[in-house]
Amino acid sequence: MNPRRKKRLAIVSSILIGLGAVAGLVLYALSQNIDLYYTPTEIVQGKKDTGMKPALGQRIRVGGMVVAGSVKRDANSLKVSFDLVDIGPKITVQYDGLLPDLFREGQGIVTNGVLVGATLLEASEVLAKHDENYMPKEIAESLGKDYKKKVEKKAAGE
């Protein structure tokens, strides 16, 4: 092999090794955020298939129903806290900002935020859907075909 080919081979192989290393680092960094969506039950008990729970300080997205009678507003600021539930345990969400116009007790919502306690989420965004029958797809699948009855009972505080 002549020196010119050796030089080309060294350059091409170093580029491929560099690209492989970059791809590996990107995939490793994204592996912590690939499964971003959790239900209140999964936050407390862990995912069904892996048993993995979100870590404190992790940014997550949580979907569920607002528990009736749990919304507490601060009279002097925009701070509000409420409980979120699916069929299992409930978590508390704290939010400082304007809630969507369609936000209400018994409503299905999705919220983005940081997990600051085992069952406490500090929300940065609260999303509500316009349809009163809204249910995040993941929650509807986890609850089975009688999910409306189960969640309405749980959200009503029964």
pLDDT of residue 10: 93
> Are the CB atoms for 44 and 88 separated by under 8 Å?
yes
Q: Is the pLDDT of residue 92 over 80?
A: yes
Burial 20-56 (b: 16+ CB within 10 A, else e): eeeeeeeeeeeeeeeeeebbbbbbeeeeeeeeebbee
Q: Is the pLDDT of residue 107 over 90?
A: no
pLDDT of residue 29: 81
The CATH number of the structural domain formed by 37-155 is 2.40.50.140
> Are the CB atoms for 66 and 46 separated by under 8 Å?
no
Instruction: Taking residues 78-105, report their average pLDDT.
Output: 90
**30-39 per-position pLDDT tens digit:** 775 665 788 8
